[in-house]
Amino acid sequence: MTSEPPVSARRPARLSPRVRTWLVAGLSLLGGYVIATARQVAVRPPLVLGQDAVSSPQSREARVTLEQAGGPVIRIRPAGGEARTLLVFYPGGLVRPQAYEWLGRALADQGVETVIPAFPLDLAVTAANRADALIGAYGDGKRVVIAGHSLGGAMAAQYAARHPGKVAGLILMAAYPAGNVTLKGQTLPVLSLLAERDGVAAPEAVRGGLNRLPPGTTLTVIPGAVHAFFGRYGPQRGDGQPDVNRAQAEGDILNAVQTYLTGLR
């Protein structure tokens, strides 16, 4: 019996110095990007009242304070008299609450009190039931409506679906219920706002979400608007190109919300 001659172990191919340099540089860039992105999510900008609400014509008619109710919350009240409606507003994903202060100030003149909570990491999905503490703190004697933009709207819809009878209305801004959430069995009045040029919440997805909302839901298209026009936080990656200015879009959004709130029993 003859034995096979030993096979010498092959040495792994060695990378050239140039390839190693490029590899190290690429890994360094990737690591830096991951760290920067994680830091951007984990370290949120401060809550600053007023800076994103300038030029609102109703600004003089509101009292705006930063308070605590299960966490930080921007509270916007009519300057004189008591509010008849409490609007609980969930911000979009990674958007600071003050981006929606403009809307709360504009609604204050109509007797609406708006509370906009700050969520951990600015993601409403981390505390979808946050409305409980807000309604308990500010809702006594008021009609309560819950609203939200984008991811915040999806979480607002989830809250309304899982707490039937807790709110008198639901407003979705460039948002729709998640696939496992339905409100079809409820008689809750719902307003769904669709930005015509939205590149983030696809119009077909917003329209498709109507199948999981109560019969009689009102769908209102904001002409020429994009996803980022609901809040004052600047352009958003992947969004569409508007063919109206922000002031026009905000006016249309405000009119739609005011009409809806006026029509609530």
Tokens coding 156 = 């607002």
Task: Per residue of the chain (265 residues), give pLDDT as tens.
Answer: 555 555 555 666 676 777 666 666 666 565 554 444 444 545 678 888 887 665 555 445 799 999 999 999 999 999 987 899 999 999 999 999 999 999 999 999 899 999 999 999 999 999 999 999 999 999 999 999 999 999 999 999 999 999 999 999 999 999 999 999 999 999 999 999 999 999 999 999 999 999 999 999 999 999 999 999 999 999 999 999 999 999 999 999 999 999 999 999 7
Please name which of 264, 192, 242, 230 lies closest in space to residue 104, comparing C-alpha atoms: 230
The pTM is what? 0.84
Angle at 114 between CA 109 and CA 119, to 5 degrees: 155
Q: How far is 193 from 210, CA to CA, in rounded Å?
A: 11
